[in-house]
């Protein structure tokens, strides 16, 4: 009896030590995998066509990130459906850190509320990695509109309820929802005229066909300086470094914050150590003077966060933009 008990005890110890060995080997293997990451090129998907502002910033960030990681970070444009095609592709990719998404607020803070059928879950299908910056949105009017600030514009809109118009670069786009923030908070009645892209939309404003538009500062400021549009205010909490003479909505008594974010996400279930490594490296890239200059040139205020902060921020942004979309009853056509 004692002999059998001794044999059983010995067998159990052998089994336990073998199991511990397997666990230790796996743990060491994971550590090695993290240490070796990345050991080949990373694909950075941009869910918009080449040449746009998001794409330009993504390419610059990818180059600097590749230099820091000592591996190529290759841009792949997968545009279409307001960013849904590229986002869906990354959401379904292997969570190994070699396919990541460089995107804007539209794909994750706006699309889920605008489109009744969307092929990805903005929260469950993705791992937040890093924020890059926030885009400065501005309100512009055509020169024929007799308003020099936000208050004067609102007075005109109320005097001509239902008769004034505003352009956007598509139903449910960030420019549409940014204007809806003002409309909802001030209970305005303005006709929305969507266009296929920012360029034709602001062209219609400059031509006097449309009264106003919420547009990124990079498109607004040069046209304002040339007298083609009049810029009434920046829809951000603070003045922007490259347009220090432009007052914010908040300064004018209207605390509208319509600043869409740009950032990087990966598929769900990525290893935490890889997410942390990418976060640290992207944050370092965003402090590079060349990148800071490029971001500012493209109307972005540099803003970085750790992984926990970025995840919490995305949740808040989803609620913030979603509340406006619901209140304005914005739905994709």
The yes-or-no verdict on residue 332 having pLDDT over 70 is yes
Number of domains into which the chain is organized: 2
Q: Which of 176, 201, 234 is the last residue of a domain?
A: 234
Give residue-wise pLDDT tens across range 19-68: 454 444 444 444 444 578 999 999 999 999 888 889 999 999 999 999 99
Predicted pLDDT of residue 309: 98
Give residue-wise pLDDT tens across range 101-129: 999 999 999 999 999 899 999 999 999 99
Examine residue 273 and state whether it is found in any structural domain, yes or no: yes
More confident residue, 307 or 236: 307
Same domain, 263 and 124: yes
Examine residue 172 and state whether it is found in any structural domain, yes or no: yes
The yes-or-no verdict on residue 70 having pLDDT over 60 is yes
d(CA 226, CA 143) in angstroms, rounded, equals 11
Predicted pLDDT of residue 34: 59
Examine residue 116 and state whether it is found in any structural domain, yes or no: yes
Same domain, 112 and 183: no
Q: Is the dihedral of CA 50, 126, 179, 230 positive or negative?
A: negative
Examine residue 6 and state whether it is found in any structural domain, yes or no: no
Q: 166: domain range? A: 137-234
Examine residue 95 and state whether it is found in any structural domain, yes or no: yes
Number of helices (H) and strands (E) in the chain: give both, helices first: 12, 11
d(CA 181, CA 69) in angstroms, rounded, equals 40
Same domain, 120 and 142: no
Same domain, 152 and 110: no
Give me the CATH number covering residue 198. 3.40.190.10
Examine residue 25 and state whether it is found in any structural domain, yes or no: no
∠314-320-260 over CA atoms, to 5°? 65
What dihedral angle (degrees, nearest 10) is formed by the CA atoms of 101, 33, 285, 107? 10
Examine residue 162 and state whether it is found in any structural domain, yes or no: yes
Same domain, 131 and 142: no
Read off φ and ψ for residue 255, nearest 5 degrees. -75, 65
Give me the CATH number covering residue 319. 3.40.190.150
Q: Which of 48, 129, 41, 118 is nearest to 83 (CA)?
A: 48
Same domain, 105 and 146: no
Q: Is the dihedral of CA 109, 76, 266, 95 positive or negative?
A: positive
Same domain, 56 and 81: yes
Give residue-wise pLDDT tens across range 226-253: 999 999 999 998 999 888 889 999 999 9
Examine residue 191 and state whether it is found in any structural domain, yes or no: yes
């Amino acid at each position: 009896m004692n002999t059998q008990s001794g044999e059983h005890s010995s067998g159990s110890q052998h089994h336990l030590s073998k199991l511990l060995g397997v666990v230790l080997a796996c743990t060491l293997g994971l550590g090695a995998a993290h240490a070796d990451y990345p050991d080949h090129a990373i694909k950075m998907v941009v869910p918009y066509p080449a040449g746009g502002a998001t794409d330009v910033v993504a390419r610059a960030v990818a180059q600097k990130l590749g230099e820091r990681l000592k591996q190529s970070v290759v841009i792949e444009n997968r545009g279409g459906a307001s960013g849904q095609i590229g986002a869906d592709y990354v959401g379904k990719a292997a969570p190994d850190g070699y396919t990541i998404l460089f995107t804007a607020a539209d794909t994750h803070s706006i699309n889920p509320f605008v489109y009744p059928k969307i092929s990805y879950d903005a929260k469950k299908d993705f791992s937040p990695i890093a924020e890059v910056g926030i885009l400065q949105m501005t309100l512009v009017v055509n020169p024929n509109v007799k308003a020099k600030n936000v208050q004067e514009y609102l007075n005109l809109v109320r005097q001509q309820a239902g008769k004034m118009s505003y352009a956007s670069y598509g139903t449910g786009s960030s420019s549409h929802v940014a204007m809806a923030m003002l409309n909802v908070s001030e209970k305005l009645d303005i006709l929305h005229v969507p266009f296929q892209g920012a360029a034709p939309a602001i062209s219609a404003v400059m031509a006097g066909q449309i009264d106003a538009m919420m547009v990124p500062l990079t498109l607004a400021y040069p046209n304002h300086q040339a007298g083609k549009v009049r810029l009434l205010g920046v829809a951000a909490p603070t003045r922007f470094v490259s347009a220090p003479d432009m007052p914010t909505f908040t300064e004018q008594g209207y605390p509208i914050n319509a600043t869409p974010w740009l950032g990087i996400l990966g598929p769900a279930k990525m290893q935490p150590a890889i997410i942390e490594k990418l976060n640290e490296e992207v944050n370092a890239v965003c402090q590079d003077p060349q990148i800071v200059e490029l971001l500012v040139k493209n109307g972005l205020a540099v803003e970085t966060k750790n992984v926990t902060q970025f995840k919490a921020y995305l949740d808040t942004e989803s609620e913030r933009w979603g509340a406006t979309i619901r209140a304005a009853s914005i739905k994709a056509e």
